[in-house]
Amino acid sequence: KLGSIKPSTMNTAVLFDRRVSATLIGHILGAINGGAIARGTSWLKDDLGNEILPTNLDLYEEPFRPKSLSSTLYDGEGIAKRERKFIEKGTLKSWVMDLATSRKLGMPTTGNATRGVSSPPSPGTTNIALTCGDKSPGELMKEIDSGILITSLIGSTINSNTGDYSRGASGFLIENGEVTQPISEFTIAGNLRDMIKTLIPSNDPREFSSYKVPSLLIENMTVAGS
């Protein structure tokens, strides 16, 4: 960005703009994917039945969402779809499974087989949604004395076993509740398990995206800049 600076290294609040916030939800879905659970390569593998998000949040699939190109009555193996809460009131209720992973895990399939043109079925989701909050991104920002608004993410280092998270980013400084200076050439880091426990969603989901996820505030992350 023109005129951007490299921020100081600090621990601070980070607001993920809705253009990039779905990536955080993607990391959760990757960790509850039946394939990862069956292989034992997920940072959430021991958390079925545990509270992993704030108790006001659900993460669910809407297979019949109107106007969505991803909506479908059946999964890739012909299993009837239904709306399903993978996380309900913050508690992890279900893995994302097709027939093969459900057999390995000794559970009924969740009807989440996705199929490529020449590849066997694998677990996946369509039309994901996260509970929205009641404040706009601007209202959430007003409560931040010092923080960062992330508008772009670059590269990714995610440890699938531990949930350790590090990504290059660019965006803007938030000072006294206002967006100020553009910033770039820094990394944000944390542990996904800790990060998602403090998620605060705003009220601005992208209505016609396959991920209906609003901007998301995380109260404390490490920003490594200059």
For residues 204-225, average pLDDT: 93
**In the chain, what percentage of residues exceed pLDDT 90?**
89
Q: What is the pLDDT of residue 1?
A: 66
Say whether pLDDT at 59 is over 90. Answer: yes
Chain mean pLDDT for the chain: 95
pLDDT above 90 (res 208): no
Q: What pLDDT sits at residue 226?
A: 79
The domain segmentation of the chain, as residue ranges, is 10-20+133-224
Q: pLDDT digit string (tens) for 136-146?
A: 999 999 999 99
* pLDDT over 90 (residue 209): no
Find where tokens 């699938």 sit: 160
Q: Can you give the pLDDT at residue 220? A: 95
Higher pLDDT, 37 or 68: 37
Share above pLDDT 70 across residues of the chain, in percent, rounded to a whole number: 100
Handedness of CA 215, 216, 217, 223 (dihedral sign): negative
> Tokens for 147?
């923080």
- Give the pLDDT score at 58: 99
pLDDT tops 80 at residue 2:
no
Question: Which pLDDT score is estimated for 118?
Answer: 86
- Would the pLDDT of 36 be above 90? yes
pLDDT in tens, 71-129: 999 999 999 999 999 999 999 999 999 999 999 999 999 999 998 888 899 999 999 99
- Lookup: tokens for 129: 């949604």
Lowest mean pLDDT, pick from 147-151, 161-165, 195-199, 205-209? 205-209
